[in-house]
Structure 1
Amino acid sequence: MHHPIITLLGILLPLFTSLVHANVEKTIFLGPPATTIPSEAPELDDLGLDRLSPQNGVVRTQLNASFPTAEAPEGTDSWFFLENLTPGQRYEVRICWLATQPTSFTLSTHPLPSITEDSTLLTSLSKFSASRLSNPDTNLQVNSLLRGSDTKAANDPAPTTDSVLFLRVRAAADYFSNDESLMRDVPSVAVDVILDPFLWNVFPRSLVPTAGWIVVVAIVAGVVARWVVGELGRVIEDARVERDEGEAKKEQ
Structure 2
Amino acid sequence: MSDASYRDAIFTTPLDRVASFSFDEQVVACFPDMVRRSIPGYGQILGMLGVLAERHLRHGGHVYDLGCSLGAVGLALAARLPPEAFTLTGIDLSPAMVERARATLASECPEHRIIIEQGDIRTIDYRPASLIVLNFTLQFLDPADRDALLGRLYSVLEPGGVLILSEKIVAEDEAENAWLVERYHDFKRANGYSDLEISQKRTALENVLRPDSLATHHARLAGLGFERVTTWFQYLNFASMIAFKARPGGHPHDA
TM-score (norm: length of structure 2): 0.23
Q: Which has the higher contact order (CA 8 A, sep 6+)?
A: 1
Q: TM-score, normalised by structure 1?
A: 0.23
Structure whose alpha-carbon radius of gyration is higher: 1
The structure with the greater share of residues assigned to helix is 2
